[in-house]
Amino acid sequence: REESKSSTQPEAMEEENPLFSNLDLFLFTLIAGLIIYWFMSRKKAEPIPEFKKLDQPKKLLALIPSVAAISLQGRNIVVFYGSQTGTGEEFANRLSKDAQRYGMKGMAADPEEYDMSELSRLAEIGNSLAIFCMATYGEGDPTDNAQDFYDWLQETDGELDGVNYTVFALGNKTYEHYNAMGAYVDKRLEELGAKRVFDLGMGDDDGNLEEDFVTWREQFWPAMCEHFGVEASGEDSSIRQYELKEHNDINMNKVYTGELGRLKSFETQKPPFDAKNPFLAPVTVNRKLNKAGDRHLMLHFLDEMVYESGDHVAVYPTNDTAIVNRLGQILGVDLDSVISLNNLDEESNKKHPFPCPTTYRTALTHYLDIIHPPRTNVLYELAQYATDPKDQENMRKMASSAPEGKALYQSFVLEDNRNILAILEDLPSLRPPIDHLCELMPRLQARYYSIASSSKVHPNSIHICAVLVEYTTKTGRLTKGVATTWLKNKLVADNGHKSTVPMYIRKSQFRLPFKASNPVIMVGPGTGIAPFMGFIQERGWLKEQGKEVGETVLYCGCRHKKEDYLYQEELEEAEKMGVITKLNVAFSRDQEQKVYVQHLLRTNKEDLWRQIHTDNAHIYICGDARNMARDVQTAFYEIAEELGGMTRTQATDYIKKLMTKGRYSQDVWS
């Protein structure tokens, strides 16, 4: 019937002489469709509210674009942290957790993930407070995650009236710019109109950083209670931040096995490589550098990352499997159980203390620091699980700021160098749940090494040198450095497989002068020689390119020439080829009177003064901050006094000006 109907239709239409033909109708429909499509497309193209891009999240302080949301969530304390090695973040978490004991709700926040220009809106929230735990890195610099915040503070002229704040600074007195970042944040916030509600705290890692923090914290909270008119509640109760979820039936492809960010990132590597996405670099050389003993290591890594002489490489080590297994044994748990620790605060942006789901074995091996002596808050939280009342009392005492408690923590934990395993072994009544212990342990941090090669000479590899750390504690336990022990065991080929090391490059300001004709004076005893191997290689390469290269003078040192003279063959060859103008080596223990690099500087004072004062030499110091860097600086003061006819004050100012001009650079550690 359809057939007959369709066959008679044209005749009928012809007879009626219709207004539109089939072609007209088709064209009309097509044009109408195009108009509708154009109109809809035009609608989509109209401006819409601009939201932050997900690839670079800059969340508002309340996690959504309304500060009122903090009030709705009950949050009124935000603890921002600038942290390079994890301690600043750890202190921030402790302070935000403390807030609960005072009827307030706190959150720890990484300034890198927030739009800090919105800081002024904290004033809209009643009884609000911004706490800043700010570490200083390098030569008075902000930590990587606080760099944008620092830049904003320098550039902004915004007003922070009504914002309450306090700062706890983390630093080390052996460094030239002690707690510079914390002091700057404290001063700058006040200049912008914010109200300091408690004095700046100064933490010194050369002394006892934990004690400094605990003392400041115990004075801070009573002052806050008075300021906000609140009272402490439940001071003695332990507050859990995460809850345990056990996964009995889970696809193992969804379980983290040591990755720091993206799941399976070690199987499928994708640039860019950074702290959360390290590159797995194959080990191509692993040999000892010294002739006697095995203290010093040299490793070469095959690398696909761009670096420059003077940069640092960060490597992510893992803990000793024997210690991990012993922890599992002593706590009576199956380390291969798959678990997640989920934040009880569902609105928190930190969902887990480490990548989850994972196993206890992976967490203790890759994610948690189980080797350093635990901080006082860990002892306080775990004390409730000690069945011996005396153990419980001592653990709580060690967490207090009372003189007796500080002395006990100093002797039992720090001086005896007890890690968490040693504490569990020596306190048999203490057997905490492993999930709570994992919640409390700090994250295992990357280790930074000065790169001992030049990318001009070695574009596809990175070299490092390290001292193997190994010693016996007062309790008779053999303690090994986490990273150096792990690196030592990274054989070039392990059962037919290439050993790999997760790493990324951290850019440095430790740079050769722009003009190759400027002389360079390098002072680096021990492994402080590392960056100068890169500098020497680069100066040699520049000479090969026909560039005019200034004097290249090296001061290095070791204990004994026949035992631990690092890079002896390379250095002597470089001097022979004229790459090193003068090689000065201090063998500190090859004679009755100890000789160090600062003694050699004084011996060559006339040459040094000419190079610095007349020839615009650049000075570089690398190595120990506590003694060597300070003694070397003093030697330069004395040379300026004697040969420049200056007073000590003038000599000090002279060296400070060299620092300001970038002609006196330090890459030091303590």
Contacts of 421 (CB under 8 A, 6+ apart): 323, 326, 327, 330, 370
Is 76's pLDDT higher than 90?
no
Look at residue 52 in the predicted model and tell me its pLDDT: 31
Largest CA distance in the chain: 127
Report the run of H or E that residue 312 belongs to, with start and end: strand 312-315
Q: What is the 3-state secondary structure (H, E, C) of 581-610?
A: CEEEEEECCCCCCCCCHHHHHHHCHHHHHH
DSSP bridge pairs for 502: 280
Q: At residue 202, what are phi and psi to the nearest 5 degrees?
A: -120, 110
- CB 306, CB 505: distance < 8 Å: yes
Q: Say how many Å lie between the first and final Cα of the chain, rounded.
A: 97
Is 54's pLDDT higher than 80?
no
**Which residue from 651, 616, 420, 626 is spatially nearest to 521, judged by alpha carbons?**
616
Question: What are the structure tokens assigned to 121, written together?
Answer: 């809106």
Based on its alpha-carbon atoms, the radius of gyration of the chain, rounded to whole angstroms, reads 31
Mean pLDDT across the stretch 414-435?
A: 97
Binding annotation for FAD:
447-450, 465-467, 471, 481-484, 669
**Which residue from 231, 220, 242, 232 is spatially nearest to 101, judged by alpha carbons?**
232
The C-alpha atoms of residue 279 and residue 500 are separated, in whole angstroms, by 9
Q: Is the dihedral of CA 544, 548, 549, 551 positive or negative?
A: positive
**Which residue from 233, 140, 130 is spatially nearest to 184, judged by alpha carbons?**
140
Contacts of 548 (CB under 8 A, 6+ apart): 516, 517
Confidence category of residue 350, pLDDT binned at 50, 70, 90 = confident
- CB 87, CB 169: distance < 8 Å: no
pLDDT, the chain, mean: 88
The percentage of the chain sitting over the pLDDT mark of 70, rounded to a whole number, equals: 87
The C-alpha atoms of residue 654 and residue 237 are separated, in whole angstroms, by 56
Look at residue 550 in the predicted model and tell me its pLDDT: 97
Considering the four listed CATH numbers 3.60.110.10, 3.40.50.280, 3.40.50.10490, 3.40.50.80, the one that applies to the domain covering 520-668 is 3.40.50.80
User: In one letter, which amino acid is 496?
Assistant: G
Domain map (residue ranges) of the chain: 67-228, 520-668
DSSP 327: H
* Residue numbers annotated as active site: 450, 622, 667, 669
Contacts of 174 (CB under 8 A, 6+ apart): 206, 625, 626, 629, 630, 670
Binding annotation for NADP(+):
295, 527, 588-589, 594-598, 631
Q: Where are the alpha helices (DSSP H) in 529-646?
A: 530-544, 561-564, 568-576, 597-603, 605-609, 628-644
DSSP 366: I
Please state at what angle helix 180-191 crosses helix 147-155, rounded to 10 degrees.
40
Cα angle for residues 354, 109, 232 (degrees, 5° grid)? 100
How many angstroms separate the Cα of 586 from the Cα of each of 348, 520, 524, 600?
55, 19, 10, 7
Burial letters 85-124, b for 16+ CB under 10 A, else e = bbbbbbbbbbbbbbbbebebbbbbbbbbebbbebbbbbbe
Binding annotation:
83-88, 135-138, 170-179, 205, 295, 447-450, 465-467, 471, 481-484, 527, 588-589, 594-598, 631, 669
Mean pLDDT across the stretch 341-363?
A: 93
The percentage of the chain sitting over the pLDDT mark of 90, rounded to a whole number, equals: 72
- Max avg pLDDT among 12-16, 96-100, 658-662: 658-662
**Which residue from 575, 541, 577 is spatially nearest to 555, judged by alpha carbons?**
575
Confidence category of residue 27, pLDDT binned at 50, 70, 90 = low
Residue indicated by tokens 């761009």 = 306
* Superfamily holding 67-228: Flavodoxin domain (3.40.50.360)
Minimum mean pLDDT among 12-21, 333-342, 486-495: which range?
Answer: 12-21
Name the pTM for this structure. Answer: 0.85
Mean pLDDT across the stretch 612-616?
A: 97
Look at residue 600 in the predicted model and tell me its pLDDT: 97
User: In one letter, which amino acid is 391?
Assistant: D
Q: At residue 201, what are phi and psi to the nearest 5 degrees?
A: -95, 140
